[in-house]
Chains A and B, each alone.
Chain A
Amino acid sequence: MTEQFSTPAAASRELIAFRIGEQEFCVDIMAVREIRGWTPATPLPRSPGFMKGVINLRGAVLPIIDLGVRFGLTTSEPTARHVIMVAHIGGRLVGLLVDAVSDIIQLRDEEVQPTPDVASDHVKAFVKGIFALDGRMISLIELDRILPETEAEAA
Chain B
Amino acid sequence: MTDAVDPFEAIKVVFFQECDELLGDLETGLLAIQSGSADDETIHAVFRAVHSVKGGAGAFGLDDLVRFAHVFETLLDELRAGRRPCDEPTLNALLRAADVLADHVAAARGQGAPVEPARSAGLVAELEALTHGDVAPVAETVVETVAPLPVEADEFGFKPIAFDLSSLDAPAVAEPSGGWRIVLHPHAQMYAKANETGLLLRELARLGPVAVSLDTSALPDLAEMSPEDAYLSWTIELTGPVDEAAVREVFDFVEADCDLSVRPLDSVATPLPVAQTTPDLDIAALLARATADVPAQPEPAPVVAIPFPTPAPEPVPVAARVQATPTPAATPAPAQAPAAAPTPPAAVTIRVDLERVDRLINVVGELVIQQAMLAQRVTESGLARSSGISVGLEDLELLTREIQDSVMAIRAQPVKSVFQRMPRLVREVGEMTGKRVRLVTAGEDTEVDKTVVERLAEPITHMLRNAIDHGLESPDDRVAAGKPAEGTVKLVALHRSGRIVIEISDDGRGINRERVKGIAAAKGLIADDADLSDEEIDNLIFLPGFSTAETISDVSGRGVGMDVVKRSIQALGGRISIASNPGKGSTFTLSLPLTLAVLDGMVVAAAEQTLVAPLTAIVESLTPRVQDVHHVGGHDAVIRFRDEFVPLIDVALNMGFRDTPVPPSTGVAVVIETEAGFRAALLFDAIQGQRQVVIKSLETNYQQVEGVAAATILGDGRVALILDVDAIVATARRKTTRPELKLAS
- Residues in chain A within 8 A of chain B (CB atoms): 40-47, 53-56, 58-63, 92-94, 148-149
Contact = CB atoms under 8 A, between A and B. Distances in A.
Nearest to B706: A46
A42 B609 contact: yes
Contact of A63 (B369, B610, B701): B701
B640 interface: no
Contacts of A59: 362, 365-366, 369, 696, 713
B291 interface: no
Interface residues of B, number: 28
Given A42-B718, A42-B720, A45-B655, A58 B366 contact: yes
A54 B703 CA distance: 12
23 contacts: A42-B718, A42-B720, A43-B657, A44-B698, A44-B705, A45-B657, A45-B706, A53-B719, A55-B718, A55-B719, A56-B369, A56-B718, A58-B366, A59-B713, A61-B698, A61-B700, A61-B701, A61-B713, A62-B701, A63-B702, A92-B700, A94-B702, A148-B703
Given A42-B609, A59-B713, A60-B696, A93 B703 contact: no
Contacts, number: 74
B657 A94 contact: no
Given A45-B655, A45-B656, A61 B711 contact: yes
A48 to B, nearest CB: 11
A46 B656 contact: yes
B717 interface: yes
A59 B657 CA distance: 24
Contact of B702 (A40, A45, A46, A54): A54
Interface of B: 362, 365-366, 369, 609-610, 654-657, 696-698, 700-703, 705-708, 711, 713, 717-721
Nearest to A54: B719
Contacts of A93: 701
A59 B696 CA distance: 8
A46 B701 contact: no
Given A40-B718, A61-B696, A149 B701 contact: no
A53 B706 CA distance: 14
A44 B657 CA distance: 9
Given A44-B708, A45-B708, 9 more contacts: A42-B610, A42-B719, A42-B720, A46-B706, A59-B696, A92-B701, A92-B702, A93-B701, A148-B703
Nearest to A42: B719
B609 A43 contact: yes
A37 B656 CA distance: 27
A44 B718 contact: no
Which of B362, B365, B657, B718 neighbours the largest number of chain A CB atoms within 10 Å of its CB? B718
Nearest to B720: A42
A56 B720 CA distance: 10
Contacts of B719: 41-42, 53-56, 61
B295 to A, nearest CB: 58
A51 to B, nearest CB: 8
Contacts of A43: 609, 657
A55 B719 CA distance: 6
A41 B701 CA distance: 15
A84 to B, nearest CB: 13
Given A54-B702, A60-B700, A46 B707 contact: yes
A41 B708 CA distance: 16
Contacts of A56: 369, 713, 717-719
